Amino acid sequence: MSITHDAAESATARPIREHFVDTAELLPAGPLRLLFRPFRPLFDRLLGFHALDQVYRRTRQAATDAVGFCRAGLNELGVRYRLDADPALDALKAWEGPLLVLANHPLGGVDALAFCLALEEIRPGGWRLMANRMLTDIPEFEGRLSALDPFAAGTSSTLNRRSLHQAVRWLEGGGVLGLFPAGRVAHHDPNIAAPRELPWSPHALRMARRAGAAVAMLHIGGRTGAPLSWIPLTWPRLRAAFLVRELLKPRDPEIVVRFSPPMLEPDLARLDDDEQVASARLRALCLALADRDAPRPTAKAAALPPVRAAGNAESIRRDVASLIGPEHLLMQAPPYRLLLFKRNEAPALFQELGRHRELTFRAAGQGSGKDFDETPEDAWYTQLVLWDDQRECLIGAYRLGFSDQTVAERGPDGMYLSHVFDIQPSFYQRLGPGIELSRSFIRPEFQGEQRPLALLWRGLGEVAARNPQYRNLYGSVTISAAYSRLGRAVLVEYLRGNHGEHPIWRESVRARAPFQAETRYHDEIAAAFAGPSVDALRPVITLSEGGIRPIPPLIRHYLPLGARFIDFHVEAEFGNAVYCLLRVDLTRSPRTHLRRFLGPEAADRLLAETGQHTD
């Protein structure tokens, strides 16, 4: 940060206060303060305020401005500061308009010093921080801090209103403003061995909207110890007194801070119309930075056996040409056609299918690791293939297992997902005729086109429409290991919490290798974005995946049909992908979406037969 020479001289010329914190001010104004003053020296030594005074004096002697004070203060406390370098930091450095930076509050004092250094990184000399009024009395911070009283009682509430008004004016002038929206230090949660951030005030969001400012989150690493967690949150003054010991003996030798990219007004508007909900989601995005890791790279083909070479093109074309009867040619939408066949009916086409399965799954960080994707069930399952006549190539496919036929002929072990999940016979009895869906894919080079997935999905609906006895679809949507740990955990927690299946179904199914979250805040993040639409999770997934991977498309296709998720399994033989087992009861699907899936006539007929009129 740059300040004028005169300002620096005036800062160092000011007398050093006798006490950095007047501990009497931790008590409510009145007779109690007068009674306390004779005991203050003893109290100050017991709780560390005397030692804090010494740190303050040494820090002032080593600094001439706010940035220097922050660096010297962290050095005195034995804390290293590290700012994560990523594209978000570059975007914020390039941002020239008003910017409100919202940070979590894990510590007390130390996090304010780290916050100032982070603000200096993105807007040298052009920032302010709203902080505890005790910090604003430090001469080196003159013009850099806006005073807030965390206890906000009586006249101090007037101080806070004045500071908020000044902060909005600072933003309107194009400045960068930092703020702790929780207002108080987080409390330690022994269950996750990490801080639990208090709820965020909606005032921050109002300030940004009023000033037309972009918003960025800053996560500050660090934690307080267990003793502080024993003091109830309803006793803020006593917690403030005990924070000094935490300040003098930090639990972590290094504070890591990381920014989110700036969010503009349209991004903020999409969070939610309710300010409380939107503020909770901003808080969740800040917590997401704590658990964010670099998105996992997809598996490299060079590390695996080469995929089998393409088969004879003429043999493949002959197989396609032979699938012309109504039992094989499901529908045509030039230049595409949708085909149904079993392996022995079109062996060359099946070889091409298995080849592209493996190529596509490897590109997504999944795959069997073999030269050709095939399981024993392919011998009796039905393949639904999307073929492009113009390009003369396979575009994508689904694999269908008709449960009533397979279980009758081969028992439950004949179903593919019975080898992934521990599925009890009662599941199939309750299910009745159902279609197991697996091994779906669109080749990577066609995933940017809209028609292929829509047609494949429409083909699946046509199969169900032609076979109305199959009113239940079930299968697994995969979340590949290429997704970050946070992305996987939040998606699973969201699906389990908002679209979980009824317990009677869950009792008959168990994941053989249950998914276990490796993050701390996934439950809070998923709760903040709770609701029927998975699209609400877009900001979280964009943040966790660095914009590389979206919400898995099939999740977004199944949910509008009323999909319910049963359990979540990690498949070691398929690149450690998370298998999300779901069931769709078509008789309970919303009419609008069912008509799109089955077609209007088949949907209306099904709903009329079952007496369902969902919408």
User: Mind listing the pLDDT tens digit for each residue in 315-338?
Assistant: 999 999 999 999 999 999 999 999
Q: Are residue 108 and residue 147 in the same domain, yes or no?
A: yes
User: Looking at the domain assignment, is residue 594 inside a domain?
Assistant: no
Rg, Å, the chain Cα set: 30
Task: Decide if pLDDT at 444 tops 60.
Answer: yes
Split at pLDDT 50, 70, 90, the class of 151 is: low
User: What is the C-alpha separation between 322 and 341, in angstroms, rounded?
Assistant: 10
Q: Are residue 238 and residue 90 in the same domain, yes or no?
A: yes
Split at pLDDT 50, 70, 90, the class of 159 is: low
Give the per-residue pLDDT at 479: 96
Place of tokens 């066609």: 446
Cα separation values, 247 from 298, 384, 583, Å: 42, 63, 52
Task: Decide if pLDDT at 137 tops 60.
Answer: yes
Q: Are residue 548 and residue 422 in the same domain, yes or no?
A: no
- Estimate the crossing angle of helix 275-291 against helix 485-498, to 10 degrees: 140
Is the peptide bond preceding residue 190 cis, with omega within 30 degrees of 0?
Answer: no
Let me know: does 260 contact 282? Beta carbons within 8 Å.
no
**158-176 average pLDDT score:** 88
Higher pLDDT, 298 or 475: 475
Give the per-residue pLDDT at 185: 84
Q: Are residue 391 and residue 483 in the same domain, yes or no?
A: no
Let me know: does 244 contact 250? Beta carbons within 8 Å.
no
Q: Are residue 488 and residue 510 in the same domain, yes or no?
A: yes
Q: Are residue 58 and residue 105 in the same domain, yes or no?
A: yes
User: Looking at the domain assignment, is residue 183 inside a domain?
Assistant: yes
Task: Decide if pLDDT at 4 tops 60.
Answer: no
Give the per-residue pLDDT at 14: 47
Q: Are residue 246 and residue 105 in the same domain, yes or no?
A: yes
User: Mind listing the pLDDT tens digit for each residue in 510-531?
Assistant: 999 999 999 999 999 999 999 9
* Overall domain count for the chain: 3
Least confident window among 33-37, 457-461, 490-494: 33-37
Q: What is the mean pLDDT of the chain?
A: 87
Task: Decide if pLDDT at 559 tops 70.
Answer: yes
Split at pLDDT 50, 70, 90, the class of 393 is: very high
Concatenating the DSSP letter of every residue in 304-334 gives: SPPPPPP--HHHHHHHHHH--STTTEEEEET
User: Across 502-549, where does the E strand assignment appear?
Assistant: 509-511
User: Looking at the domain assignment, is residue 35 inside a domain?
Assistant: no
Higher pLDDT, 614 or 69: 69
Split at pLDDT 50, 70, 90, the class of 155 is: very low
Question: End of a domain among 255, 290, 325?
Answer: 290
Give the per-residue pLDDT at 227: 61
**376-404 average pLDDT score:** 97
Give the per-residue pLDDT at 326: 92
Give the per-residue pLDDT at 11: 39
User: Looking at the domain assignment, is residue 39 inside a domain?
Assistant: no
Q: Are residue 369 and residue 312 in the same domain, yes or no?
A: yes
Split at pLDDT 50, 70, 90, the class of 154 is: very low
Question: For the chain, what percent of residues have pLDDT higher than 90?
Answer: 65
Q: Are residue 205 and residue 354 in the same domain, yes or no?
A: no
Higher pLDDT, 521 or 60: 521
User: Looking at the domain assignment, is residue 116 inside a domain?
Assistant: yes
Q: Are residue 235 and residue 308 in the same domain, yes or no?
A: no
Concatenating the DSSP letter of every residue in 105-154 gives: -SSSSHHHHHHHHHHHHHSTT-EEEEEEHHHHTSGGGTTTEEEE-TT--T
Let me know: does 498 contact 608? Beta carbons within 8 Å.
no
Give the per-residue pLDDT at 573: 86
Q: Residue 428 sits in which domain range?
A: 304-470
- Estimate the crossing angle of helix 110-122 against helix 87-94, to 10 degrees: 70
User: Mind listing the pLDDT tens digit for each residue in 417-436?
Assistant: 999 999 999 999 999 999 99
Give the per-residue pLDDT at 609: 85
Higher pLDDT, 561 or 6: 561
Least confident window among 250-254, 495-499, 534-538: 250-254
CATH number of the domain bearing residue 235: 3.40.1130.10
Q: Are residue 168 and residue 253 in the same domain, yes or no?
A: yes
Higher pLDDT, 498 or 162: 498
Task: Decide if pLDDT at 240 tops 90.
Answer: no
Q: Are residue 145 and residue 277 in the same domain, yes or no?
A: yes
